Amino acid sequence: MSKFADGKVKIRGRLIGKTNPEIRHLAGSVVRDNCNSHDSACAGAVLLAWVQEHIQWQPDTVDQETVQTAERTLAWGFGDCDDLTTLLVAMLLSVGIPAAFRVIACEPERPGQYTHVYAIVEINGNWYAADPSVDQPFGWETTGITKAMNWDPIANRQFKIK
């Protein structure tokens, strides 16, 4: 995800490593070891928990937004919200679970500026939040959102949830 001075956000699909064999193997193993076959809700929850437990949240360099690929975040073991979310979305997509980014404004002092990103996961036609940068369960979503945008990393475009 790139942030521009005017507050617009661009997420580049190449950051998503959904076809990376290492990411697919890891995600598949986590799901296989913890869920029954075809249980997307379980898969979403265990992949979120895996990222929360194994990848440390760490802020970007002072005064500079940096974005890591899913592969780099996995290798380094740390990243900020966009890095952790990129890894989680790649893991979800790699095991066939539809996932996207939700970019939000939620800071009272900057109500119109996008400041946070997390995954949203589609299960049986419903979308659920999955925020790997906070210690909250699958489905939890922060309060105080003043602006939100959903981004499909496959189609590389914004979309609305019906």
What's 71's domain CATH number? 3.10.620.30
d(CA 136, CA 85): 14
Question: Residue 19: which domain range?
Answer: 2-159
**Residue given tokens 């780099």 in the structure block:** 72
Secondary-structure breakdown of the chain: helix, strand, coil percentages, each rounded to the nearest 5: 35, 25, 45
Output the CA–CA distances (angstroms, integers) from residue 115 to 4, 45, 52, 133, 158, in the order listed.
12, 24, 19, 13, 17
Q: What is the pLDDT of residues 17-41, one digit of tens each?
A: 667 899 999 999 999 999 998 999 9
d(CA 28, CA 141): 25
Q: What is the pLDDT of residues 54-81, one digit of tens each?
A: 999 998 877 778 888 999 999 999 999 9
Q: What confidence category does residue 11 fall into, taking pLDDT thresholds of 50, 70 and 90?
A: very low
Could you tell me which of 72, 68, 74, 69 has the C-alpha nearest to residue 27?
Answer: 74
Could you tell me which of 79, 22, 16 has the C-alpha nearest to residue 51?
Answer: 79
d(CA 57, CA 91): 17
Could you tell me which of 77, 75, 72 has the C-alpha nearest to residue 14?
Answer: 72
Output the CA–CA distances (angstroms, integers) from residue 137 to 22, 52, 60, 134, in the order listed.
25, 10, 24, 9
Domain count, the chain: 1
Q: What is the pLDDT of residues 97-136, one digit of tens each?
A: 999 999 999 988 888 889 899 999 999 999 999 999 999 9
The predicted model scores a pTM of 0.88
Q: Kindly report the number of other CB atoms within 10 A of residue 86's CB atom.
A: 30
Could you tell me which of 32, 36, 27 has the C-alpha nearest to residue 88?
Answer: 27
